[in-house]
Structure 1
Amino acid sequence: RQVVARLPLMANELGLFLAAGMLAAGLEGVVATLGGWVPFAHFGGLQAGVVLALMVAVSLVGVHPVIGIAAFGTLLAPLSPDPSLLAMTFLAGWGIGVAVSPLSGLNLALQGAYDVAPARVVRLNWRYGVVMVAASTVAFVLYARLVPG
């Protein structure tokens, strides 16, 4: 039943992940032609906070966090970042980005169910996004200082 009935309903999610993979492959080629350009000299707590803030910012204009993960994962790979710090950054970016984006599936469902305008979703959630990005950045900095790596 799962294969026949439920999997075909996941076509949109499959398309999103395939598109993210294609974007990452294309971005890898662009970075290679730029001589291995990377956005930071190293990836620590503050850099994780910057990546998180950028992921949340682009989610506000409708870019799904999976796309941000694919893009930043490709850009940061040459730095050999701490996998746990990178995973925490991407997980926080996905969680906060989906919560504050008026175009996320979660918020679109809530908008339809409760007749809330997308602009109101942003007005109601922007403080949450700012506080969570700041709290996450503090956690990233503490992690980077306390965990040897």
Structure 2
Amino acid sequence: MYSRALPTPYLNAGYTRIFERGDLRFLILLLLRKRSNHGYGLMKAISEEFQYTPSPGVLYPTLQMLEDMGYLKANQENNRKVYSITDEGIKYLEENYDVVRRIETTHTYIDKFTLRKDIIETNRLLLMNYPYLSQKKIEKIHDTIREMNRRIREIIFE
């Protein structure tokens, strides 16, 4: 597996993924190392902490795989499966220190440069007002966003 401290910058105007294929199992185990949680709670915690929301179709099979591997256990509480990390799961994290370190470093940078609230607020503002905008205003907003992206690229790659 290719390891890096930060996501590789995008190439040819395409964007890289923040996390690599297979990282979800580590995100789950890292969160369960802090506290036990149910599937929806894990999905929400991953979204809040790592700005990535796994679909239920990816999350639940991964939870089952981790349980089958002995890295976590599930207990039924209030009609929900509550997952906890096992000693084997902690050992697995320790054995994969490089991957865990890369994920934790990425998490640190997400915290430092988080723009999620700003982006969500901008998106909400646009969606709420879109029906009332003239074509001229829509084009002006598009131009503004393209200019912002161009300027951010200049700052990053100067």
Q: Which TM-score tier does this pair reach, normalised by the shorter chain?
A: 0.3 to 0.5
Higher helix share: 1
Higher relative contact order (CA 8 A, sep 6+): 1
Which structure is higher in strand share?
2
TM-score, normalisation: structure 2: 0.31
**TM-score if structure 1 supplies the norm length?**
0.33
Larger radius of gyration: 2
